[in-house]
Amino acid sequence: MAEPKKLTPIEIEAIVSAMILAIQLLSNYIGDDTALTEEEKVAFINRIKLAQLSVPEWK
Amino acid sequence: MKRKLLVGVLLLTFLVGCAYLQTTKQKYEAITISYESVGMIAFPTVLAYLQQRELNGSLSGDALVNAKAAYANARTKYIEAGNMIIGFIQAPQVNPNVMSSVALMLRQVAIILADLSGGTVQNNVMTIPVIGGK
């Protein structure tokens, strides 16, 4: 059977770019002045959890 | 549609980059948006490609087993990185260096997904240039 069209380099780069940016941001993270409020913390944590849940399993 | 989504990722990364040197809250926002982009766009896109290959038989046998193992590994690392970010948000003073570990884990995820989607990733100091499909 014919192999489906592979992702193009630009598509792959787009995917990886998001990760690279995350890595760069996280690597250069500097804690500073203003802490988050409890409400803001909960909001960010919920978004992270939602992102975790949206990663599909490959069965 | 897929291409449009990925262009959206690029635009998103640009916008996130604009917030790079802003306040603490904006930094958390940038980190969260980036993390969301990987989980909600990159993983499903790569998985759709792999499942299409599995369905038409171009990915089978040992290669299929290996690809599934690699994908599961990337997924585990991604989720673990998220847990570390959550821990950091809850108590940044406990382990201020945890974000370095998160960065390394996400980099591994990037390499695995790029490899699974037919590209290769080269190591570099601060960037991971992608070389086109195999």
pLDDT digits (tens, 9 = 90+) for A14-41: 777 676 666 666 555 545 545 788 999 9
pTM for this structure? Answer: 0.71
Per the listing, tokens 């909001």 go with A43
- When pLDDT is cut at 50, 70 and 90, the band that residue B134 belongs to is very low
Asked if B45 and B77 count as a contact pair (C-beta separation under 8 A), the reply is no
On whether any CB of chain B is under 8 Å from the CB of A46, the answer is no
SS3 content of chain A, % helix, strand, coil (to 5): 60, 0, 40
| Environment class of B122 (CB within 10 Å of its CB; exposed 0-12, middle 13-18, buried 19+) | exposed
Global ipTM: 0.72
Residues of B in contact with A8 (CB under 8 A): 132-133
Cβ atoms < 10 Å from Cβ of B94: 9
Which is more confident, B21 or B9?
A: B9
pLDDT score of B13: 62
| pLDDT, mean of residues B93-105 | 78
pLDDT score of B133: 35
Checking if the pLDDT of A11 tops 90, the result is: no
Nearest to A6 by CA among B89, B91, B2, B68: B2
Q: Do A24 and B126 touch (CB under 8 A)?
A: yes
Rounded (5°) CA angle B103-B108-B109: 95
pLDDT score of A35: 74
pLDDT score of B72: 96
Q: Do A2 and B58 touch (CB under 8 A)?
A: yes
Strand pairing of B130-131 and B120-121?
antiparallel
Checking if the pLDDT of B4 tops 50, the result is: yes
| Span of B26-35, B66-75, B90-99, B118-127 with lowest mean pLDDT | B118-127
- Cα–Cα distance between B132 and B119 in angstroms, integer? 5
Per the listing, tokens 């040992």 go with B62
Asked if B105 and B122 count as a contact pair (C-beta separation under 8 A), the reply is no
pLDDT score of B110: 81
Q: Is B22 strand, coil or helix?
A: coil
Q: How many Å lie between the alpha carbon of B16 and the closest alpha carbon of chain A?
A: 8
Helices (H), chain B: 2-18, 24-37, 43-56, 61-90, 98-116
pLDDT digits (tens, 9 = 90+) for B16-72: 655 555 667 777 887 888 888 888 888 988 899 899 999 999 999 999 999 999 999
